[in-house]
Homo-oligomer: A and B are copies of this chain.
Amino acid sequence: MAQQHLEPTDPTARAVTGEALEGYLRAQATEFLRALRLHRETGTTNGAEESVDAARALRRSARRISGSLHTFRPLLDADWSESMRPELAWLSGTLGLEHACEARLERLLLALHRLSGSSMFPAQSLASGTAGSGPPVPATPERGNLTVGAAKAGALLERQLTLARTRAHSTALQALGSSRFHAVADKIAVLASEVPLTPAARTTDLRALATAAEDRLLAAVGALPLVTAGHPYNAEALVHGLSPDPAPHPQDGPWHQVRLLLRLHRYAREVLYVDGVPVDVRLLTAGQALNRHRDASEAAAAAAQAARTPRIAPATAYALGVLHADQRHEVEAARFAFQQAWQQQKVHAP
């Protein structure tokens, strides 16, 4: 959508009022209802891919509505906003979990495949999760040991993440059938025709609030250790990798926070540019780096978690240790990529 438009009139040159917010929220609500209809249709006919697309579209508009409620809060009915936001957060969280489990498993199996040497480990044999169809050359017990470890680690992760995914799927289905969901859907149906703006909103300029959102982003980025991140191989991401703390990576938190603030900034731009959002490649690149950061961080945690499974073989644990470190390395790489994208942005900005 955004790619089809060139830079429109500069939104800083003219006022953009609450009417733009109204239009945006109505459009997102309509989109939500369309996706919900699609999801119900495909859900019953069991069309997996269309159902996944519909769920993604649902999450997509729920996030945008929620983000706009946050950024432009003073322009909307306070009680309504306060009641909507936790419901939207619950909804996109619940709907996103299944996809997250699936993506995490795929990421971890691809990494195992890469780490095992592609000639020895066809991806299918790992994905099948059976150690029996694994590597053909365990020439000595020592060799076979580590080899089987990678295959067993893959099988273990597949079992655990498939179980998590199945649970997430059930939870999402239950959620979509719940009265709590119907209440949200009803509210969004109302939003599609009637946005609860405050009396003054229609003549209030949105730009101050959008700028405040951008300022929060800039402040959060400013607090990131970007100098360190810009030095490749700083080995920061794996520090405390063997710490006894079950959540040993508080260092990831500020990056996750920037990811959310960058998203809010992107949505605010969508509201402001009523005639189409100009593509900002650097913003896209920075956002992709932060997504990769989040994915790798969670994949690393899943590998560490799997290593805590009782009674696993040492070779399996070794493979999970290598995998954990590999994903923490990915975390560090993502920070570097973000730093590079962000520096470019600053250089090219007017």
**Residues of A near any B CB (own CB < 8 A):** 112, 114-117, 120, 135, 137-140, 142-147, 149-150, 232-233, 235, 238-246, 248, 304, 307-308, 312-326, 329-330, 332-333, 336-337
Contact = CB atoms under 8 A, between A and B. Distances in A.
Most buried by B among A137, A321, A322: A321
Contacts of A332: 233
A322 B324 contact: yes
Q: How many copies does the complex hold?
A: 2
Q: Is chain A's binding surface mostly helix, strand, loop or mixed? A: helix
Contact of A137 (B244, B308, B319): B244
A244 B120 contact: yes
Contacts of A240: 115-117
Given A245-B143, A314-B314, A326 B115 contact: no
Contacts of A116: 240, 242-243
A119 to B, nearest CB: 9
Nearest to A143: B244
A125 to B, nearest CB: 13
Contacts of A329: 233, 235, 238, 325, 329
Contacts of A324: 318, 321-322, 325
A239 B95 CA distance: 35
A241 B120 contact: no
Contacts of A320: 318, 321
A111 to B, nearest CB: 9
Contact of A235 (B114, B135, B243, B304): B114
A114 B325 CA distance: 13
Contacts of A326: 235, 238, 241, 325
A135 B244 contact: yes
Contact of A308 (B138, B145, B333, B336): B145
B317 A244 contact: no
A112 B241 CA distance: 9
A147 B314 contact: no
B242 A150 contact: yes
Given A138-B244, A146-B244, A321-B325, A239 B117 contact: yes
A248 to B, nearest CB: 7
A332 B330 CA distance: 13
Contact of A243 (B120, B241, B307): B120
24 contacts: A112-B242, A115-B238, A115-B243, A116-B242, A117-B242, A117-B243, A146-B307, A146-B308, A232-B232, A232-B333, A235-B330, A235-B333, A241-B326, A242-B322, A307-B314, A313-B314, A314-B316, A316-B317, A317-B321, A318-B321, A318-B324, A320-B321, A321-B322, A322-B324
